[in-house]
């Protein structure tokens, strides 16, 4: 497979001698957390700073997953890179890849995924932790932004699979908030209509206990493009509550 190197990152990476798989694999950096391990393989994440531009350099060895695309196994980064590329083609706001490549070295399967850091953005989880300090206008703008993001995602028939506050990043703009997604490894086509959409949205709401029902209705009103007191929003509130009760009872 040919390595991917984003045109807008090529010059910067090459200036620092990091425009190739081997150079990125050999680069000495401190891991941001403990590596994940499975079946004798490992996957680790590193922070890379180049001339004020931040990146996350992810490397893995024999960290394989089976997919329809690769029934005998492939690096999980390969699937994530395909999803990043698909989101970009569909216009879904999400993290950007700067480099992707994979190699077989003496029976070892290696993979690298380099993504641009979302410096200057806040994940929704951190905003929820200081929710009471934000103004009502900020609350309304955040609900609107999250509703628009979900509507766009599902409108092009994609299910994120991990639509959690820690995977939604927001940035204040002059008119509200921009939003985008990270962690696309589990995303897939939306196949089962409303059932899939409820499945995607419910974990977000369960992980945002700071939201009032009125705020939830604001998000859903944007999502379905109807007034907050509409019968369609009523229906979505009921369906989401039913799934949450089912999940909590298990």
Secondary structure (H, E, C), the chain: CCCEECHHHHHHHHHCCCCCHHHHHHCCCCECCCCEEECCEEEEEEEEEECCEEEEEEEEECCEECCCCCCCCEEHHHHHHHHHHHHHHHCCCECCEEEEEEEEECCEEEEEEEEECCCCCEEHHHHHHCHHHCCHHHHHHHHHHHHHHHHHHHHCCEECCCCCHHHEEEEECCCCEEEEECCCCCCEECCCHHHHHHHHHHHHHHCCCCCCHHHHHHHHHHHHCCCCCCHHHHHHHHHHHHHHHHHHHC
The model's pTM: 0.93
**Burial class of residue 230 in the structure, from the number of CB atoms within 10 Å of its CB (0-12 exposed, 13-18 middle, 19+ buried):** middle
Rounded to the nearest 5°, which phi and psi values hold at 51?
A: 50, 40
The answer to whether the CB of 118 falls within 8 A of the CB of 169 is yes
Q: Where are the domains of the chain?
A: 4-116, 122-249
Q: Which residues contact 125 (CB under 8 A, 6 or more apart)?
A: 164, 165, 166, 207
Per-residue model confidence (pLDDT) at position 110: 96
CATH fold of the domain at 122-249: Transferase(Phosphotransferase); domain 1 (1.10.510)
Per-residue model confidence (pLDDT) at position 1: 60
The answer to whether the CB of 55 falls within 8 A of the CB of 85 is no
Q: Which residues of the chain carry a pLDDT beneath 70?
A: 1
CATH architecture label of 4-116:
2-Layer Sandwich (3.30)
d(CA 162, CA 200): 7
CA angle 100, 102, 106 (to 5 degrees): 160
Write the CA distances from 98 to 57, 87, 111, 138, integer angstroms: 10, 15, 14, 32
The answer to whether the CB of 225 falls within 8 A of the CB of 151 is yes
């Amino acid at each position: 497979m040919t390595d991917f190197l984003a045109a807008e990152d090529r010059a910067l990476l090459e200036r620092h001698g990091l425009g190739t798989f081997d150079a990125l694999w050999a680069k000495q950096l401190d891991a941001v957390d403990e590596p994940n391990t499975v079946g004798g393989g490992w996957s680790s994440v590193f922070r890379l700073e180049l001339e004020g531009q931040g990146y996350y350099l992810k490397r893995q060895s024999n960290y394989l997953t089976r997919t329809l695309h690769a029934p005998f196994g492939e690096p999980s980064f390969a699937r994530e890179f395909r999803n990043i590329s698909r989101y970009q083609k569909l216009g879904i706001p999400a993290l950007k890849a700067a480099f992707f490549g994979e190699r077989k070295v003496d029976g070892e399967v290696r993979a690298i995924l380099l993504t641009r850091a979302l410096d200057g953005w806040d994940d929704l989880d951190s905003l929820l932790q200081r929710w009471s300090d934000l103004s009502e206008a900020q609350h309304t703008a955040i609900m609107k932004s999250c509703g628009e993001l979900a509507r766009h995602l599902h409108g092009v028939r994609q299910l994120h699979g991990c639509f959690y506050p820690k995977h939604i990043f927001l940035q204040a703009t002059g008119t509200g908030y921009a939003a985008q997604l990270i962690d696309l490894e589990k995303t897939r086509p939306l196949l089962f209509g409303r059932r899939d959409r409820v499945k995607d949205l419910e974990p977000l709401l369960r992980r945002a206990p700071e939201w009032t029902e009125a705020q939830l209705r604001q998000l859903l009103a944007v999502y379905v493009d109807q007034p907050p007191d509409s019968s369609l929003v009523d229906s979505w509130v009921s369906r989401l509550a039913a799934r949450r009760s089912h999940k909590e009872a298990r």
